[in-house]
Structure 1
Amino acid sequence: MGIKDLIDFLNNLEEGNIFYKLNKVRKEAIMVEIAVPGQRWGVEFMEDGSVEIEKFISDGEFYDVNEIETIIKDFSD
Structure 2
Amino acid sequence: MEIRDFIQFLNKLEDRHIYYRLNKVREEAVMVEVAVPGQRWEIEFMEDGTVEIEKFISDREYYDGEEIETLFKDFSD
Show structure 1 runs of 5+ residues with no match: none
* Equivalenced residues, count: 77
TM-score by length of 2: 0.96
**Structure 2 Cα separation of the partners of residues 47 and 76 of structure 1:** 33
Percent identity between the two aligned chains: 71
For 1:40-59, what aligned pairs fall within 5 Å after superposition? Answer: 40-59=40-59
**Structure 2 Cα separation of the partners of residues 13 and 36 of structure 1:** 11
Displacement of 1:33: 0.2
Show structure 2 runs of 5+ residues with no match: none
Q: Secondary structure at the match of 2:27?
A: coil
**Structure 2 Cα separation of the partners of residues 62 and 40 of structure 1:** 16
Match of 2:10 in 1: 10
**Structure 1 Cα separation of the partners of residues 8 and 76 of structure 2:** 38
- Displaced runs of 4 or more, over 2 A: none
14-23 vs 63-72, which moves further? 63-72
Match of 2:62 in 1: 62
Match of 1:24 in 2: 24
Q: What is the one-letter code of the residue matched to 1:72?
A: F
